Structures are given as C-alpha cells and as structure tokens.
A and B are shown apart, each in its own frame.
Chain A
Amino acid sequence: MRKNNMFTLAWITLLVTGSLFSCKPKNAGDAVSGDAAQQVYVAPGKYDEFYNFVSGGFNGQLSVYGLPSGRLLKIVPIFSVFPENGYGYSEETKPMLSTSHGFVPWDDQHHLELSQTNGEIDGRWIFANANNTPRVARVDLSTFKTAEILELPNSAGNHSSPFITENTEYVVAGTRFAVPMDYDNGDVPINTYRKNFKASISFISVDKNSGNMKLAFQLQVPPVDFDLSRAGKNKSHDWFFFSCYNTEQANTLLEVNASQRDKDFILAVNWKKLEEYAKQGKGKTEAAQYAHNVYDENKHMATSTIEKQVLVLDAKDLKDVCYFIPCPKSPHGCDVDPSGEYIVASGKLAALIPVFSFDKIQQAIANKKFIGDYDGIPVIEYEAALYGEVKKPGLGPLHTEFDGRGNAITTMFVSSEIVKWNIKDLKVIDRQPTYYSPGHLCIPGGDTKKPNGKYVIVYNKITKDRYLPTGPELAQAAQLFDISGDKMKLLLDFPTIGEPHYAQAVAASLIKDKSVKYFDINKNQNPYVTKGEAESKVVRNGKRVDIYITQIRSHFSPDNIEGIKVGDEVYWHVTNLEQDWDLPHGFAIKGVPENAELLVMPGETQTYKWSPKNPGIYPFYCTDFCSALHQEMQGYVRISPANSTIPLSFSTGKNLPNPTTAPPLLDK
C-alpha cells in the first residue's frame, strides 16, 4: 500500500512539473518561427542577396557581411592598422593614417553611408567617420580598399558624420565635443567653455566622377554637442537636420549637467543657402592644419598632404540658414522618412517620439513662429514644427529606419525592443524584443528614398548569454528580422566583430559584378614595380638598399641575398606577378620588430621597410597558401656586421652549394 502511494505521488509530481514547464513564458528560442532556418540558409557555393556594411566601432575598421546568412566576408581596414594585410605598415599605406598630429594607428569608427544618386544608393563608394581624431574616409566598392581619408580641423568627436545629400554633393561632419577652434588660443581654463569653446559642422564636397573629397566650408555653431544627422529628401533636399544635446553647455559631469533641460534641439540647416553664401565670399578663410590622404590605385600607394586653410562661416551672421527646433530629452537619432516630409527625432530619455513636419517648419519660419533665439539662432516653437508624437513607443528610443511602405522602425535601448509604427497615424503596429539593448538598426536603403523593406538588422549593445561564453569580452550580437509582413519575425543572430554602430545594406547585384579581380601588372605605376623576374634586382645607395623582388607561384626572385649590413635601411619592394583572381602572396621576415606582414594582391607592389639590427641569416617566406609548393616559397637574406666587406649579391636558383657537400643518398 505504502509503495503504491509513493508511486502515485511520483506520477502526480511528474504531471505537475510537466504542466509547469508548458506554462513557462516563451523564451527567445520560442520567438523564432519554424521556417526561419530556411529563410536565412544560403546553400554552399551560392551568394547572399545583400551586402551588409557594418561599422567596426572601436576596431576602427569596416566589416562586410552577407545577408541573409550573416556570414562575415571581409574586414576593410580604414582607421586602424591591420597587421593581417600590412595596412598602415607598408610604405604605400602608412600615409593613409597620417594626420596633423602625426601617424595615428587607431580610431573609433561609428557611421557609414553609401554614396547616392537621386536619393538612391549607387554602389560606388561608402563613407566612414573617425570619431576620435576627426576624419572622414571614402572606401572604393570596386576594390574594397580605403581610397581617401580627410582630416577635419576645428573638430573633436566627429560623431554626426558622415551623412550625405541625395546626390552625394556633400558629406557632413558635426562635432560632438565643442572645443576652442584651432585658430584660437586653446590654452584656456576648461570652465570658460561657454566663452571660448565652439562647435563646427564641416561640409565636404565630393567630386562626381573621381569621388575625391574636399573640405568645402565649415559652419561655426554654438558650443552644444552634435549627435546625429540626416540630409533632407525630395522637397527637403536643400536641408540638413542635426540632433544636439548639452544645450546646457556643461563642461563637467554631463550625465547630470547636460540632462537639465526638458528639451534640447534639432538644428535645421539650409545647406543650399549656406553653399551660396560660401560662394559669395561671406565666410572667413582661417589658418588650419589637416591631412588629406589619397590612395592612388595605379601606383598602389598613398600620399598625404597637409592642407593649410579652411573657409569658416559663422551661423549667427547668416540670418536664414540655421533654425533650432526644441526636441525632448537629449535627442540622439534624427531620421528623415523617404518622402522628405517627416523628421523623426528620438530623445534618449524620452517616453515618446516627436515627429516634425518639413512643411510646418517652413511655415513656422515664414511666419516667424519663434520663441526667441539661442546664440543668435532663431528657435522655432515646438508645436509649430511638430507633426505629432508617437505615444508610449517604449523606453529610450534611439534610431529609426523606414520600410518604404509608410512605416518606421525604431530601436528602444532601455526597453530592449524594436517598434514598428505608422508614420501617418503615429500608431504602434508591432513590437519585438531584441537581445539586448539595441543601438542602431539598418534596413537596406532604409535611410534613402527607396528602402528595400525585406529585412531589418539590429545591432545590439549588450550580448550576455546569446553565444558561447568567451570570457569577460563577448562578440557583439546582430539580429536579423524579416519585416515583409505585418509582424516582424526574428530569423537569425549573428556575432559581429569590433562594436558595430550604424550599418548600411544594399542589394548585392549593385556591387558584385564590378568587383576588381586583380590589378593589371602593365598598368602598375608604382615607382618600385618589378615587371617580370628579369627586372628583379638589389640596389645599394649609401645605407639605403632597395630590393626589387617578385612573387609568383611558388618562388621569389631573388630568393638568396647577401651583402646587406647592420645599419642599412632596407626596402623590400614586393611585386606579385600573378594575373588571376584570388592569388595574393604574403611576405614576412623573421624577427622584425617594426613591421607586420604584407599581403600583396595580383599585379600589385607593396613595400616593407626593415632596419636589421643583428648579423645573421634571416628567412623570409610567403604567408598566404598559394599552391601545392607554397611551403617551398621561401628565401634567405644574410645580414653582415656594419663594417663587413661582403659584396652585394642576389639570385634565384643560381647560388648553388658545392657538389662535394651533397647530402647522403641524393643520387639514389
């Protein structure tokens, strides 16, 4: 009997536990619907449908993923050295990281913007900002290499950058940190911020054909923190909109002191008028020092030039260019819908999302509906500019992209979700949790006139338990949602590197077919190119030694070099003679403290500088597996003491050992 009771009790316990489990609230795993795997599966050998260009944040680089698979395809080094391919180490690429402060090996890369024509992505270039030492870069999307980097004077914390106009006329770059201007005395007490510090917005013009950037002019504005920005579209084409915070003009404990006011500002700038004033000579040319670095694809080398002046226009002198619009609680995102009518601003600490109307802003300006001015800039009445507010969207709205079907999707950092709402009626349609605390989000073309509303990718700031633990530091978690239906469906988590902020995505068809496969060796204009093994040589000029060395599967020419001495400055000019796709060769020498490796693309020349410190034999080899005989792709260089008289000699296949020293059984 007793035994029987025990048995029954066991059954009841089991049943109760079972029902408890089935009542458990849905977890993240349950949130994924059954066909998600099918939707993101890209069969081996097949291509992804979209390129996803993702900022690297604190790694200073740009990473390229395929969507919907989330596969990492490439890292493009921009603002940080990249020992993996020699970027920032080779003589050809070192000038890319030159600044007015000298060589800066690292930066913090936040935002990306694909070039546009008529408000649509044209697939030619992608622009990137450097936050820390203010710069804007242009990456060429036929080579996936950084083509140009322009430093910005009178700037610090280049955050509201690099946002662009509909025809890539201008790339803008607004300052996060107000600072004394470079042409003023910077040695001032910090608490004289309100008197001595200023903010600036740089307008970089982009040549239609070459893409070359030029700092056209700078707009000097009051010392508030500029956060993010968007250019207008269609009817608002002539305008730029910037979010700003710290309108309190605090210089310490901003967490508290810059959160005092109920409303900060959106700054509306009529850039067309500003451009006219600049052309009319209304600005003032100020002395400056900023680097302009350009990579020449034919020479395979960069040059760095220091520019000496900049045209500055002061906002308070220009009566019809700048207008402030009050915006609740430290606005962050500032996004313009595809029509150009609605400007969505997201207050980081707000519990609502204000949507401004471009038409109402124009009317308010015409009717002078101002509540006063702020450092000489008119401030429009909030209600006069407001289209409406999205009520109770969630907590901590940050960024908004558009699906092209009349809806907006906004990330909610504090409540950890994405929220889809209708732009016209401002009603929330759907909300989905994200894991965890989303920052930026990206819909392919989601900031342009023509979004492709198939997917949204959310870049989360907190990862926690999403992947296998890897110690205190974790991969960053991106999440892909299908947004083609009414409900947003989570499809995929994929880990990313660095710390992604903003990202861009575009149909692969716009880019993939124009990808360069190799560089034509006949067009290689590098001053140190070796066009064929017959031209390979070693030349001494005093203490400088130039080694013109070639690579082809699978040997170097020359591969035996003697007569180099301690104290020499040795330049290895490595030319890859291959003319086929996916055939880079690597180059590395044992024990070189000042250098990394080179990865030389087919038809390219790259230069490796070395100052040998100790006599001895130094092996060098190809680091990129190139053929069945890759392991044989190697050579030796002999370093002799400084006073050595050993003559310079070099060869491949000719420097043979004495036949009497043949190893055993060589003839068997």
Chain B
Amino acid sequence: MCTQPMRPTQLNEITSFKLKLKMNMKKLIILSLFGLLMVACSSSGKKNETTSNNTASGSAASTESTTGGNPSYDPNRGEGKFTRVDVSPTLDIAMAEAGNKVYTVKCGACHKLTDEKLVGPGWKGVTQRHTAEWIMNFITNTDDMLTKDPKAQAMLEICLVRMPNQQLTDQEARDVYEFMRKNDGVK
C-alpha cells in the first residue's frame, strides 16, 4: 500500500487560487474544510489520488503558481492542448457513433447518460455546462485540470474520486464530445 499525501504547498496553492477568485470568508472556510477532507482521504489513499509522477507534479507545481496568478487563465477553456474546437450546428453522426463506442468501453462505468450522478456526474446537459474545449481538455489532460481548474476541483469535491485519465486520443475525445452533443439532443 503506497501512500503519497498531498503536498502542503499544493493545498496552499489551491487555497491561494481560491482567494484570487475573491470568495468571501465563509465560503473560503467551507472550501478549505473540503480541501482538508480531500487531503485526509488522499493521505490514506494511493498516490494516484494526487498526481501521477515526478515530472507531472513538478511541472504542474511550476505552471500552477503562474496560472494561479495569471489572469489570462481561461476557466472556460481549461488547461490542455485544445484552444479552439470547430463545432458544426448539426450533428456529425459518424463521429457520434464512434464516440458512443469509446463511451461504452472507457466512460460508461462511471457516467450515466441521464443527469444522475454515478461515480462521476451524469452527462445530460454537459455540453451546455462546459465548452467543447474545456471538456476535451479535461478528458485528455485530467490530472492537470484536477490540480488547477476551479470547475474541475468543484466537481472533485462532490464526487471525491479523481477522474482517471483513460488515454483517449485527440480524435476519440472529439468523438466523445460529439456523442455528448447527440445525448444533449443535437440533431
């Protein structure tokens, strides 16, 4: 049983990041308590509860402080390789079908297609809650996003299970996004 508790600095970074969001004190205290809870869970848990490896945590820590203090961080886009995703008003049926196949193998164990939370949130309405870029960045750059993105962190505080990186290719991530659109009624 290996354990790797969250680094104290990591907690500070998260907290200071939240400060910059100009939250009021009461909210901050509640969130800090959640933060402590996360630390408590992960310290009894496995190293994957925090970050995956040396290099990842190293680079995450260094970019984190700049991101935290960087007003140019776009919380709607998230952190990752996708800066602009072209989405047509109509559905790409072939892509959605491919996305459905990926969903069956790699996502369906934790995400329902309704709005019901299983391990992770249900997918109904997800394309309205987040941009295509944010969703695809979260799918492909999961650890980084969970470490620094406020919306991803807020979800983690609810679900308490870190979403695994399921190693989707860029195209698979796009296909899954199209399948999400289909699930949200795009024709």
B42 & A522 in contact (Cβ 8 Å cutoff): no
Which stretch of A8-16, A85-93, A490-498, A531-539 is in the interface? A531-539
A532 & B46 in contact (Cβ 8 Å cutoff): no
CB of A580 closer than 8 Å to a CB of B: yes
Please judge, given known A-B contacts A532-B104, A552-B164, A629-B160, whether A577 and B46 are in contact too, CB under 8 Å.
no
Q: Which of A529-560 contact B (CB under 8 A)?
A: 531-535, 550, 552-555, 557
* B54 cross-chain contacts in A, Cβ below 8 A: 45
CB of A625 closer than 8 Å to a CB of B: yes
B45 & A579 in contact (Cβ 8 Å cutoff): no
Closest to B53 in A: A581
Q: How far is the CA of A580 from the CA of B141 in the complex (A)?
A: 12
CB of A78 closer than 8 Å to a CB of B: no
Q: How far is the CB of B19 from chain A (nearest CB, A)?
A: 25
Which stretch of B105-113, B128-136, B175-183 is in the interface? B105-113
CB of A583 closer than 8 Å to a CB of B: yes
A577 & B109 in contact (Cβ 8 Å cutoff): yes
CB of B149 closer than 8 Å to a CB of A: no
Q: Which of A480-533 contact B (CB under 8 A)?
A: 518, 520-522, 531-533
Please judge, given known A-B contacts A45-B54, A531-B104, A628-B45, whether A579 and B165 are in contact too, CB under 8 Å.
yes
A552 & B110 in contact (Cβ 8 Å cutoff): yes
Q: How far is the CB of A528 from chain B (nearest CB, A)?
A: 15
CB of A591 closer than 8 Å to a CB of B: no
Interface size class of A (residues with CB under 8 A): 20 to 34
CB of A582 closer than 8 Å to a CB of B: yes
Selected contact of A577 from candidates B41, B49, B105, CB within 8 Å = B105
Interface residue count on the B side (C-beta < 8 Å): 26
Encode contact with A along B138-179: 1 for CB under 8 Å, 0 otherwise: 000000000000000000000011101111000000000000
Q: How far is the CB of B58 from chain A (nearest CB, A)?
A: 9
Please judge, given known A-B contacts A45-B54, A625-B1, A628-B42, whether A579 and B106 are in contact too, CB under 8 Å.
yes
Closest to B142 in A: A580
A580 & B165 in contact (Cβ 8 Å cutoff): yes
CB of B48 closer than 8 Å to a CB of A: yes
* B118 cross-chain contacts in A, Cβ below 8 A: 653
CB of A321 closer than 8 Å to a CB of B: no
B109 & A579 in contact (Cβ 8 Å cutoff): no
* A579 cross-chain contacts in B, Cβ below 8 A: 106, 164-167
CB of A627 closer than 8 Å to a CB of B: yes
A582 & B162 in contact (Cβ 8 Å cutoff): no
Q: How far is the CB of B5 from chain A (nearest CB, A)?
A: 12
B46 & A518 in contact (Cβ 8 Å cutoff): no
A residues near B (Cβ < 8 Å) are 45, 518, 520-522, 531-535, 550, 552-555, 557, 577-583, 625-630, 653
16 additional contacts (CB under 8 A) given A552-B119, A555-B119, A628-B49:
A45-B54, A518-B167, A531-B105, A552-B109, A552-B164, A553-B161, A555-B109, A557-B109, A577-B106, A579-B106, A581-B52, A625-B46, A627-B45, A628-B41, A628-B160, A629-B160
The 6 A-B pairs of least Cβ separation, nearest first, read: A628-B41, A532-B104, A532-B105, A552-B109, A579-B167, A579-B166
